[in-house]
Structures are given as C-alpha cells and as structure tokens.
Amino acid sequence: MTQPEMHGAAAECYRDRHVTLDFEEQRLSVDSMPVAMTRKEFELLAALVGNAGEIMRRDVLLSRIWGYGPMIRTRTLDVHIRRLRKKLGAYGDSYIETIFGVGYRFQPYRDYRAPVVNIGAAQHAIA
C-alpha cells in the first residue's frame, strides 16, 4: 500500500501517487500536471490536506479561509469545494469527502486493490 508523504518539519509538501501539493510554493499538480488555483482555492485545499482524515466543520473553514462569522449563510464554500474537485479530476470525489450537515474531509490516497476470488475457472474482483 502506498502511503502519502508529508515532507519537512512543518510539512512543506503533501505527495501521493496522484497529487502533489507544495505548501511553500502554493502549487498543485495532479498526475504530474500543474493545476492553476486561486488563492482561496489553495488556502481551502491546504486547510483540508493539513487536517487529512479529520472532518473540517463548515463554520471553521468559513472562518479560517474567508473570515466569516458563525451567523453568515453562504454557498461560497460549496462552490470552492466543487471547483477543487473538478481540478483534482477523476480523483476529486475520492480526495474530498462531504460530511453532510457537518463539513468536509480530505482523504489521503489509498492504493486499494479489490481482492480476487477464484470461482471455478473465472476470477472475480470483490469491490
């Protein structure tokens, strides 16, 4: 299984099989191709990646990235998440998980291979 890498004392870079996020240079690449991002998109992705595996509540993200108070009702977070998923391509939904009514979670890449079961002469993958 391939494990994602966080480099440096303050984690200057996140890297796995498909995504590289350089926190210092504020650059994203997907499958070795550079991906343009706005400053807010980068800040949002960096917050999610920096807390990988943990649920980031909507109000926390809105406060941290946009400076919004708890009473603000806005869809800007959802719009930015949708844009990030699109920029992550085929992996967008795998990396960024929606926790309905709560927030979002960045899931590091998992090199999952379905076990193969022999049934007679045929082999089948179990998903």
Polymer length of the chain:
127
**Which two structure tokens, joined as six digits, stand for 86?**
């699109």
pLDDT at residue 104, rounded to an integer:
97
Note the pTM of the prediction, 2 decimals. Answer: 0.78
pLDDT in tens, 85-101: 999 999 999 999 999 99
* 5-125 CATH pick, 1.10.10.10, 3.40.50.300, 1.20.120.450, 1.10.3210.10: 1.10.10.10
- What letter does residue 40 receive in the DSSP assignment? H
What percentage of residues in the chain have a pLDDT greater than 90? 70
Give residue-wise pLDDT tens across range 68-127: 988 788 899 999 999 999 999 999 999 999 999 999 999 998 765 545 555 555 544 554
- Is the pLDDT higher at 90 or at 8? 90
| Rg of the chain (C-alpha set) | 17
24's CB contacts (< 8 A; 6+ apart) are 12, 13
Residue of higher predicted confidence among 119 and 22: 22
Q: Structure tokens of 91?
A: 């992996």
pLDDT at 110: 75
pLDDT confidence of 11, banded at 50, 70, 90? Answer: low
